[in-house]
Amino acid sequence: MKIVDKRSLDEENLAKIEREIQILQQLNHPFIVRLHEVIRTERYLYIVTEYVSNGELFDMLMDRGRQTEAESRRLFQQIVSAVAYCHAHGIVHRDLKAENLLLDTRGNIKIIDFGFSNHHQPGQLLSTWSMMGVSPMCGHVGVILYILV
């Protein structure tokens, strides 16, 4: 659960949180964390998501080191499946990294932290890093594959 004190945010950052909520409400994929509920009070936003208990992919790699080719392929296929799903729905994550990939009790990937995400249409220039749409995500996914093996 993420608890956001609305009074500590300016309008721009509050709008980003609202966009993240709106995007998470659109997503339903086995390798993307699910949004269960948003509770709004005058002061706080309570963002209730699926509990993913086995920590970050980053921490697992730091503890265990590189993975076997078979395990790397399995995890990479899950990441690509989730990213392709997002792109098919006009959503780009824009912050894909090992720290934003959690592992569930079965060792499956769950993409989290859609705080930088946004809607995208083909050919649209995104302000983040002044790059075109989904093509930068290919590089991020490639880096994740590299650190897996």
pLDDT in tens, 15-45: 999 999 999 999 999 999 999 999 999 999 9
Assigned token pair, 95: 């912050």
Which residue, 21, 33, 145, 15, is CA-closest to 85?
A: 33
Q: How far apart are CA 68 and CA 70, in angstroms?
A: 5
Q: Kindly report the average pLDDT of the chain as a whole number.
A: 91
Q: Which residues does the annotation mark as catalytic? A: 95
Residue 36, phi then psi, degrees to nearest 5: -90, -45
- DSSP conformation class of 66: S
Model confidence at 133, pLDDT cuts 50, 70, 90, reads very low
Domains parsed from the chain with CATH numbers:
2-148 (1.10.510.10)
Residue 126 contacts residue 94 (beta carbons within 8 Å)? yes
3-state DSSP assignment of residue 29: coil
Q: What is the pTM for the complete model shown? A: 0.86
